[in-house]
Structure 1
């Protein structure tokens, strides 16, 4: 049985990357279904939500990797300034993307919310998989 003390940076990175991969697969399956059931605008809003969610997971991976490198004694730390600038730039672009997509795409807001929630769902699935692997 693995203990939490053995949880490494690579395990964290693998979990986030798996969640992003699952998000891409779920979006590729859900977008055509929503397009078929509702409209292409709703499918586009789903994709916008999934892109925002996936970029959030990616930024979290970058930010936490930089923090972990700084905490490890043997790692060479990257400057945090550029990572933080990228983080806040992504937040600003997210706001612009949400505003523009809601203003110009007359699709379902629920599809957008579903796309945003897909990231949380995929990260939860990968977290449960990780817990099962560590408790067996």
Structure 2
């Protein structure tokens, strides 16, 4: 759990230090710098992703409803890109944080020659590494 928050907390800590140094000379610049680092911390935190579930539960749910399973990890710019470009449709997928779920990490390593390359999206049991967001959206079953 703490590993997922290392990068966002680093952004906040560094941003606070840098903003403190800038505040002495330029108050507006210091506030803007702090705001930038807070936004970066938020974007790289698990908070911007839908709630993660375990790999086994995601497979079970996917078998029932046909929705893709996305294996991701906090701090991954490609995962963030996928999440942002999916918009509201992101909540229609099953998300597995490989840093929280060892079975999810093992699944990703098994299909990526031992690497934890994310996002890895499983559609109908077949893995797709770093697919285009438009393609992922096209794989979603029609809304009910």
- Please state which band the TM-score falls in when normalised by the shorter chain: 0.3 to 0.5
TM-score when normalising by structure 2: 0.35
Higher helix share: 1
Higher strand share: 2
TM-score when normalising by structure 1: 0.37
